[in-house]
Amino acid sequence: MPGESRELRHIRRLLILVALSVIFSPTWASCGSELQCDKCAKGSEFSWNPEKQDTSARLQRFYAVGDELAAAYKGGEFDKAKELANENLNLAKAYRCNWNYGNAIHESYSILGQISLNQGDLDGAIDDLRKAGESPGSPQLDTFGPDLDLADELLQRGKSDAVRSYLLEIKRFWKMNDGKIDGWVAEIDKGDKPRLNRFSETSPSPVEYLLSGLAILWPVIVTSAVLAFLRNRLTRKLLFFVLSTVIGYALMFGCSVVLWFVSTAMLISLAGFGIPDLIAVILPIVISMSLPLGVAFVVARYFRSGPAPALPTP
């Protein structure tokens, strides 16, 4: 500006730079009015990452407390179950982006509702059912659906409106319910009280039959494909087929059992590396089903025409 001293020009430029840095700061952009999974919340999973440590002790506790909660409730330790449910909900506040968040919300409120029901607090149980239905879902809930014991008990006691609303809420994330929810809602609208069980018998779709058959016959299919591919280079084809198929089934079954027990630990590890939840859930299936293919090609080495490679000595 005319007549402006050098010092004032410097101050004005400094103020402009400060304003621009605030406006375009990544921190400001990520911590605006719409927070993504509490990235800016003090103590969230995004605000503290211990050095050389994929998961903190608090996060490990978040993964473990659900099992303790279920055990306490099943053992009739209601006071302990209430404490664990509240702990689970408090931990969940810091882990809104975690794959276990939806599990924690639904399981905690479901068990609190069942305790309220056992203690004669029907209104409290209905409120807890509503809060359980507000869960955003999870890889487990989206696929297998939530436990419906609380909803079923309330429906049998005549609380049809509350249960109907809950069923429509969980339909948001339980996409693989095979039409169960629509069927239950239709029966409720007619005044009936269907038994709510996520594992209730339903007629499998053709796609489900196809996938089930594919999973059961997978080692046979893979071995047959490798045999067809290498048919002109293999000797003793029948022995190759039998041996590859048997080993394939054994490894596939063994891997499935191991992955069943370590699935939670695997999800924790993969989450620490930032791998999306869906990939973390599908990865064990891919690993299990890839084993028969690897077995077939390894066994084929010992049945090729010409001199066979020497078997490894112990």
In SS3 terms, 175-226 reads as CCCCCHHHHHHHHHHCCCCCCCCCCCCCCCCHHHHHHHHHHHHHHHHHHHHH
User: In this structure, are residues 47 and 41 in contact, taking their beta carbons and an 8 Å threshold?
Assistant: yes
pLDDT score of 26: 40
pLDDT score of 212: 80
pLDDT score of 24: 40
Distance, C-alpha 251 to centroid of its chain: 25
Residue 156, pLDDT > 60, answer yes
Helix axes 180-189, 160-170, angle to 10 degrees: 160
With a pLDDT cut of 90, the percent of the chain lying above it is 42
Query: Which of 292, 309, 293 minimizes the C-alpha distance to 301?
Result: 309
Residue 35, pLDDT > 70, answer no
Output the CATH code of domain 57-189: 1.25.40.10
Enumerate the H helices of 230-276 as residue ranges: 237-272
Query: Which of 161, 102, 173 minimizes the C-alpha distance to 126?
Result: 161
Q: Write out pLDDT tens, residues 80-127.
A: 999 999 999 999 988 887 888 999 999 999 999 999 999 999 999 999
User: In this structure, are residues 150 and 117 in contact, taking their beta carbons and an 8 Å threshold?
Assistant: yes
Distance, C-alpha 173 to centroid of its chain: 12
Where in the chain do CATH 1.25.40.10 domains reside?
57-189
pLDDT score of 213: 83
